């Protein structure tokens, strides 16, 4: 069983993916962490994420099974991640790890949930279930802003909205593996609780199974 979850930033993919993984006892991979780790490594070394040579070398040097270092969840790292993610050779470097995780999940699990931008379209076109999780940019920015406030990070709603819109625009319009809903059930999480979103996803998965 492979569940592919794609969608724009802060739409609620991660929350849903973790709950589905627990419910079906599947392995879980947040593929955004891989791109974030590449961007983070470059920033730490004082490099420029826009330089394809530097970006590809950083992706090649990454051990995708061990990306648990550093603070990957800042807006700076998110921005660097989306810059390196637009470079085709960076994506190539990270592809086989993701595919292998899906088809040979760790821990003896019977399947995997992967969340990202190109899971249904590129990483696992053969996924058993494909979900595209989205919400309006305003709703997503409000959520992200609240999260930052709760973590004591100084920011403004307007700045968060601008960051999210810029990152979405880059992810949607890049030439390689752009973010798009491919042959997937679309779940709009605007105004819905995590419980309601989880139930909607379960119903869609059950529906797939009965057809
Ligand atoms: O999902 P997250 O916000 O952590 O992803 C950070 C960035 O990594 C995204 O904005 C996107 O550019 C890139 N990404 C991607 N493909 C994926 C996962 C993430 O291009 N499968």
Residue 199 is assigned to a structural domain of this protein:
no
Pocket of ligand 1 (CB under 6 A): 9, 31-32, 35-36, 78, 81-82, 85, 116-118, 167, 171
pTM here is 0.96
Residue 204 is assigned to a structural domain of this protein:
no
CB–CB of 160/145 below 8 Å? Answer: yes
Q: Which domain holds residue 93?
A: 2-194
Q: Which of 81, 83, 165 to mutate to test the pocket of ligand 1 (most atoms within 8 A of CB)?
A: 81
**Planar angle of CA 133, 138, 139, nearest 5 degrees:** 50
Residue 132 is assigned to a structural domain of this protein:
yes
Nearest-CA residue for atom 16 of ligand 1: 117
Return the CATH number at 101.
3.40.50.300
Structural domain count, the chain? 1
Residue 210 is assigned to a structural domain of this protein:
no
pLDDT in tens, 50-71: 999 999 999 999 999 888 777 8
Residue 146 is assigned to a structural domain of this protein:
yes
* CA dist 47 → 71, 110, 150 (Å): 17, 40, 31
pLDDT in tens, 90-108: 999 999 999 999 999 999 9
Residue 172 is assigned to a structural domain of this protein:
yes
């Amino acid at each position: 069983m492979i569940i592919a979850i794609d969608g724009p930033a802060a739409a609620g993919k991660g929350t849903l993916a973790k709950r589905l993984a627990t419910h079906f006892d599947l392995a879980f991979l947040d593929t955004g962490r891989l791109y974030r780790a590449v961007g983070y490594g470059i920033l730490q070394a004082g490099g420029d994420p826009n330089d394809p040579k530097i970006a590809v070398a950083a992706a090649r040097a990454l051990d995708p099974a061990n990306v648990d270092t550093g603070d990957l969840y800042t807006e700076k790292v998110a921005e660097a991640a989306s810059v390196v993610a637009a470079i085709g050779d960076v994506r190539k470097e990270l592809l086989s790890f993701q595919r292998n995780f899906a088809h040979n999940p760790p821990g003896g699990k019977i399947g995997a949930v992967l969340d990202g931008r190109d899971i249904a379209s590129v990483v696992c076109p053969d996924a058993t279930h494909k979900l595209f999780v989205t919400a309006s940019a305003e709703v997503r920015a409000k959520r992200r802003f609240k999260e930052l406030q709760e973590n004591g990070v100084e920011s403004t709603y307007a700045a968060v909205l601008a960051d999210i819109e810029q990152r979405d625009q880059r992810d949607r319009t890049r030439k390689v593996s752009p973010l798009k809903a491919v042959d997937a059930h679309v779940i709009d999480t605007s105004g819905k609780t995590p419980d309601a979103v989880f139930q909607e996803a379960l119903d869609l998965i059950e529906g797939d199974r009965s057809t």
